[in-house]
Structure 1
């Protein structure tokens, strides 16, 4: 077994060497990947910075001559990702450890994000106490705040780096006893306000022989599901909660990007899609909501999360966008409409109850949906058990007809 350590050996050689020594003292091999551009390494790596630069489509000499830090970080990130993938495919990468400031955090986590979920990934970083989303993305990357800058060894940095090195040893040396069952896997999207629907649907699917993976529709959750579909890990989708598109359209903080709802259709796998939580756009604390939205209908979910009701106009746009996404699907696809409300807050007596806005959403979906997409309309809200049962029945039928369902 081997831990790949990614770092800038021209500026952080002492610290990287210390991490290497701690790991190797535990009987685990290391493979050092140098991504330093400024100068020669303090000691010889296993993969040189020149090799990384070439894997990134350039040369080390060119990066030094251009002296463009941003360009260099991007190129070395590409190269480190290519090197990490090659080492993983060759069976000589069991885990990845990175340490550094913003530059190497960007490079090393780019490499980590290129590796499959389940491969241990640990980043010691000065950036780990802030917004880590750009570094973690939709991958299982652990980040440890270095507390002090990674500049020389001292009583603090030795302890932090040693803890990270030993944590990595523990991850690669102790393979978890995780049972892997040969069952078709269904990806499901959930929000707090669609939880009852998802819980009931998950129980029904698992009783029929499926494994389920539930994704919290917080932007990264939707992106994680889309990437796992692309990797072939997910066999079918119950996309109950498409709320990330509301944030994408209106400008909320939990958007998943314009590619959301593409992967299942492109892969041709069965999918049943609904309109869960399209009644809301997400922001942080109430005072963080942009001034342009003053006067709108809000619901304080908790001190850190403020929800804003979508308007009829926004819902009409959402209906068109989602219909166009589903029309492009190459596999069996259904759209399920809960006519009694798309979330816990969108029922009579709750803050976001707005029949006009819901009608705009449903009418736009009906208008733009193509003939190849099955449409299910139920006179219940999304969290009624009968709604979960209907969408599970439809997806199960698609899965079995396509040969992707349970074999027993």
Structure 2
């Protein structure tokens, strides 16, 4: 099993290109199921999760081709052979559940395994089911599979979600594009990935308004056509690499970055003593003066502080001056990186959904183990700032969400290498 060896090597300087958003691309790919005509995505990230979604779509009979070194994905669902998403593929990645809405909308039926692919607590499908049932679907759970039917087709409805779930919003919006009549989805999630999905669906002929707000209105149409769409910049990769010069010193420009994607996160960095400035090509990040200052963080749905940047922010707070409190309100079990940071000399106390971090002068390199995707990169960031060598094992998590992480960090002066396992 591969590992990554990181050696603290001082300030970082240069440019890092930011890829297309994993979470956006994984949502856009199932949209091909809504139409017989081709859907082409550009600026696609090259990640193992994208390969998993490709395999899932192909198992349904979709044609999926990876072009231009994986940065273009060409898809066609004109000849689907199945409406069943099997456990063997779905278990690998939670986003696989996003085939449910499109299959149900276009074919009036779908059988989708309950998903896996995540170790950060219970993330049930109830919000997805409630929304689709509001559109007239009949859904039954049998033997670990959701069996969904809409014999007379889906019908528009007014539905208010109990929680602003990103995945449920995406599934319901896709399904509603082909429903009869108008759907009004209240308490919808507002993430940029949802705005990106709506922009793509609109290019395919969908009639949708209100994306980016808490109320989305969808006027159903008879059919959708093909389109070409550029995947939005990955705001989580962007935020992650913004933390590299924050924790190590130096100045790094993130190519393709946009302030509108990370405003709440950038505000916390500013309060900690890290400058973030827009440039012609992206965002430039630099630590202002000496040691960063401790700041408190509460994770919230967009436009609040992203849960997917909490682990990385904790790594920064480990060497901050003062004590910070990080409260996780989105997912349970999302402090599994804390014990590994403690192995590196961090001072962290976790009580339920709250972690208290008292900054130390310096972290010490140590062997550590990644427990999930964001935890893995938080340990790499900590290793960049630590004295000596840090070996991060189980980095297969990393490949799900970050392309060419070693190459990108090496490009700005980090001392990092991937060690191939046996």
Q: What is the TM-score with the length of structure 1 in the denominator?
A: 0.28
Max radius of gyration: which structure?
1
The structure with higher relative contact order (CA 8 Å, sep 6+) is 2
When you count strand as a share of all residues, which structure comes out higher? Answer: 2
Q: What is the TM-score with the length of structure 2 in the denominator?
A: 0.28
